[in-house]
């Protein structure tokens, strides 16, 4: 039981309807191959059947390791001679219809800049018919240069150039070594390779790929162990949905980091500028704690739960070596943070030195105005000459100073509060 073409190469006789056998001539071979092509073009997977008489060397073989025939079985190179002179019985066509959502999933991959390559052990005609059915190739598209068997691909002079072709690619009658070679060449060319498979022969390629995806329902245990991810529903569209979800998580992570870095740079810049200018600290420790716990944390966390963009799968994929924070992005974060810091310190200075700004009355609470020079020397308030303070109002309360101390006393605490000695 196996591929029809391979069985025909090893068969010398054919069994007829009445059970008798006769020599398998060229006419019979051509007739069988024509029927195979017709069934394959209908997207049927064909499986051939043949048998042979037990060779004389194996007539008494019962699995005993001491038997001479056992040594022949240990050497795979003997299989072709053992499985020879077969009697061809016939073949059947199996229909395995693709899921209805696969075609749309492949179209989404194409929009997202993801190339889909089909590597299968099926007959070439069958594989081509299935690929046209699921949208890898168009119905009337010429795919002579993009559909090769595994052996034909290994004979290609420039294999990497063949893999660089745009659009889908098909590799039929592929053996495990062919799958490994394709994955290896793609990785050498800088591609991020996701390989799907379910059989034992897929395990080496699954292990070699950047992301090995095994089938959770129909997959073998060997494939699951070799893979990085196991699909619980064996559905290709689930992989496409996971790509969209991964892109959304990455974008939300970038938004979270951008907000946190820029806001923290703003806090650092405001503290640094007040110290450099010699003015009082714009934010006391309690205010800094409030900013970090209330105005930084919750908004940044909310950014991490943003729903995915509607065009998330229409954007090209990023390169695998792209940094989360590049020098240019860090520069942008610094500019945003410095802008916030400068704006905070600027508003802080304007509030104490101007009664109004851009049409906004800043002296409604009755606080005393000072010059920038006085603000920059706030720790020398006891030496200020001719400075008087007006009552400081806050809501319905009014704070005034003792009439015996019309000026700032020797010990001052910012902003504009005095401790009377």
Same domain, 275 and 326: yes
CA angle centred on 148, ends 142 and 152, rounded to 5°? 140
Q: Do 235 and 144 share a structural domain?
A: yes
Question: How far, in Å, are 100, 102, 130, 136, 243 from residue 108 at the CA level?
Answer: 14, 10, 18, 11, 10
Residue with tokens 């893999």: 163
Average pLDDT over residues 90-112: 89
Prior bond to 415 cis, omega within 30? yes
Dihedral (CA of 184, 186, 190, 195) sign: negative
Say whether both 134 and 220 belong to one domain: yes
**Could you give the number of structural domains in the chain?**
4
Q: Is 168 in the same domain as 289?
A: no
Assess whether 236 and 140 both reside in one domain: yes
The answer to whether residues 119 and 215 belong to one domain is yes
Closest CA to 348 of 402, 268, 279, 248: 279
Domain identity same for 90 and 114:
no
Query: Do 122 and 186 belong to one domain?
Result: yes
Residues 141, 225, single domain; the answer is yes
pLDDT tens-digit readout, 23-51: 988 999 999 999 988 888 888 888 899 98
Residues 348 and 380 in one domain: no
Instruction: Specify whether 81 is located in the same domain as 106.
Output: no
CB 267 within 8 A of CB 287: no
Average pLDDT, the chain: 83
- CATH label of the domain that carries residue 49: 3.40.1110.10
Rounded distance, CA 68 to CA 43, Å?
44
| 224 shares a domain with 107 | yes
Q: What is the CATH number of the domain that holds 136?
A: 3.40.50.1000
| Residue range of the domain that includes 272 | 241-353
pLDDT in tens, 203-257: 999 999 999 999 999 899 999 999 999 999 989 999 999 999 999 999 998 888 8
Q: What is the pLDDT of residues 364-420, one digit of tens each?
A: 666 778 888 888 887 777 777 777 766 655 555 555 444 344 443 333 444 444 433
Q: Which residues sit opposite 119 in a β-bridge? A: 171
Rounded Cα distance between 226 and 209, Å, is 10
Checking if the pLDDT of 81 tops 90, the result is no
CA distance 206 to 375: 69
Q: pLDDT tens, 6-24?
A: 888 888 889 888 888 899 8
Rounded CA gap, 58 and 67, in Å?
Answer: 9
More confident residue, 357 or 341: 341
Among residues 305, 321, 353, the one where a domain terminates is: 353
| pLDDT at residue 321 greater than cutoff 50 | yes
Q: What is the pLDDT of residues 56-71, one digit of tens each?
A: 666 667 667 777 777 6
Among the candidates 194, 220, 240, a domain finishes at 240
Q: Domain ends where: 327, 353, 379?
A: 353
Q: How far apart, in whole angstroms, are the C-alpha atoms of residue 338 and residue 341?
A: 5
What gap in Å lies between CA 364 and CA 181, rounded to an integer? 78
């Amino acid at each position: 039981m196996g591929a029809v073409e391979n069985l025909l190469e090893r068969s010398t006789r054919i069994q007829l309807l009445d059970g008798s056998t006769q020599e398998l001539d060229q006419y019979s071979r051509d007739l069988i191959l024509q029927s195979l092509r017709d069934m394959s073009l209908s997207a049927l997977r064909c499986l051939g059947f043949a048998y042979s008489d037990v060779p004389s060397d194996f007539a008494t073989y019962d699995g005993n390791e001491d038997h001479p025939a056992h040594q022949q079985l240990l050497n795979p190179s003997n299989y072709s001679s053992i499985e020879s002179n077969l009697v061809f019985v016939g073949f059947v066509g199996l229909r395995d219809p693709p899921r209805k959502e696969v075609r749309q999933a492949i179209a989404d991959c194409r929009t997202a800049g993801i190339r889909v390559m089909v590597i299968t052990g099926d007959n070439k005609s069958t594989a081509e018919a299935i690929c046209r059915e699921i949208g890898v190739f168009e119905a009337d598209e010429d795919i002579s240069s993009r559909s090769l068997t595994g052996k034909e691909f290994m004979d290609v002079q420039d294999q990497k150039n063949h893999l660089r072709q745009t659009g889908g690619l098909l590799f039929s009658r592929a053996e495990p070594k062919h799958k490994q070679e394709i994955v290896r060449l793609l990785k050498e060319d800088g591609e991020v390779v996701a390989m799907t498979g379910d059989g034992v022969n897929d395990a080496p390629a699954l292990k070699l790929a950047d992301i090995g995806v095994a089938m959770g329902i129909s997959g073998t245990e060997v494939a699951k162990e070799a893979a990085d991810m196991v699909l619980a529903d064996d559905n290709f569209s689930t992989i496409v949905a996971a790509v969209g979800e991964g892109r959304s998580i990455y974008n939300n992570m970038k938004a979270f980091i951008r907000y946190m870095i820029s806001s923290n740079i703003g806090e650092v810049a405001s503290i640094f500028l007040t110290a450099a200018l010699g003015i009082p600290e714009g934010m006391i420790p309690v205010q800094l704690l409030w900013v970090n716990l209330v105005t930084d944390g919750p908004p940044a966390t909310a950014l991490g739960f943003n729903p995915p963009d509607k065009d998330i799968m229409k954007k090209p994929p990023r390169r695998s070596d792209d940094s989360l924070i590049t020098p240019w992005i860090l520069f942008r974060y610094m500019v945003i943070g410095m802008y916030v810091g400068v704006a905070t310190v600027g508003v802080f200075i304007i509030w104490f030195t101007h009664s109004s700004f851009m049409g906004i009355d800043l002296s409604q609470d009755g606080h005393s105005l000072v010059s920038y020079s006085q603000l920059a020397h706030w720790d020398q308030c006891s030496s200020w000459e001719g400075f008087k303070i007006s009552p400081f109002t806050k809501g319905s309360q009014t704070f005034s100073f003792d009439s015996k101390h019309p000026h700032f006393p020797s010990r001052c605490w910012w902003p504009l509060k005095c401790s009377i000695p």
